[in-house]
Amino acid sequence: MLDIDINSAVAIALSEDLNGLSADDGDITANLIPANQNITADIITREECVLAGVAWVTETFAQLDKAIRLQWFAKDGDRLHANQPIVRVTGNARRILTAERTALNFLQTLSATATIVAKCVKELEGTNTQLLDTRKTLPGMRLAQKYAVTCGGGTNHRIGLFDAYLIKENHILACGSIQAAVEKARQHHPHLPVEVEVENIQELLQAIAAKADIVMLDNFSLDMLKQAVTLNEGQCKLEVSGNITIAELKRLSGLGVDFISSGALTKHVQAVDLSLRVIEITTTKL
């Protein structure tokens, strides 16, 4: 599933730049460079980060020219320091420069997700609380960002609408009650996990009574969270969600909850500052 997604995502991204044309016809600036000119260039990071996106970069260059050679100095999940070389790229100058922005776009975005996740996971060290992502991903980047979360040490929540139940307020209203919604879920797909999002203690008790696998405590106050843990007595897994900040992670994990989920890990990403630097230019005979 991920391999197919990488191939497709890269093809779409390149097509955006080339207007659906070939590299020869679509990159008018690269055509200023002699066709027989080769370069060697390093992609470096200008800031500390956790790397994610190696496969997307590799696929980007491969789709334009399979003769381009990549020498990786780091792998996904590695912690990098400022000005550290990530990969050396050697091959046709036109093709490398056509691929440059697409490759960097994937790498800077996915590394940004991995980096913030790693910072959050560090705050949870020594606890049994897992950090989860959400479906609040950039359009077209769902699997890529979910993968980046794992590179940072986080855990994936459901991938989409197909692999787990998450029964929210509107689902509950449409079904009639939490109990009715959970019962229908068990009938339709008994092998899938059932999670219920609740907004108050009364709904929590209803979800526990319905035997939900996981209960998401949405925007609970600290006192409500403490009460929820006490009332639950380990009957369901508890997930905390809603405007989570790094500063709150230690305190929240100390309450004994099983999961903390945050959409900010994927939707509030600030791209890592990367750069491609040419270090050698050569010419081949025509």
Q: Which two tokens stand for residue 32?
A: 């200023």
> Given 3-state DSSP classes, what are the helix, strand and coil percentages for the chain, each rounded to the nearest 5?
45, 20, 35
Say how far apart CA 8 and CA 47 lie, in whole Å: 29
What's the gap between Cα 61 and its chain centre? 22
Nearest to 252 by CA among 142, 127, 147: 127
Share of the chain above pLDDT 90, in %: 98
Query: Is residue 133 very low, low, confident or very high in pLDDT (cuts 50, 70, 90)?
Result: very high
pLDDT > 80? residue 113 = yes
Look at residue 285 in the predicted model and tell me its pLDDT. 78
Distance CA 183, CA 172 (A): 12
Angle (CA) 146 150 155, round 5°? 85
Other C-beta atoms closer than 10 Å to the C-beta of 243 total: 10
For residue 68, the SS3 value is coil
Q: How far apart are CA 272 and CA 194, in angstroms?
A: 36
The residues annotated as belonging to the active site are: 101, 136, 168, 197, 218
* Contacting residues for 159 by C-beta, under 8 A, at least 6 apart: 142, 143, 146
Strand pairing of 237-241 and 214-218? parallel
Q: What is the pLDDT of residues 165-219, one digit of tens each?
A: 999 999 999 999 999 999 999 999 999 999 999 999 999 999 999 999 999 999 9
pLDDT confidence bin for 1, thresholds 50/70/90: confident
Mean pLDDT on 27-31: 97
Phi, psi of 68 (to 5 degrees): -65, 135
Residue 107 in contact with residue 13, Cβ under 8 Å?
Answer: no
Q: Model confidence at 284, in pLDDT bands (50, 70, 90)?
A: confident
Strand-by-strand arrangement of the 69-72 sheet: 69-72, 84-92, 37-45, 274-283
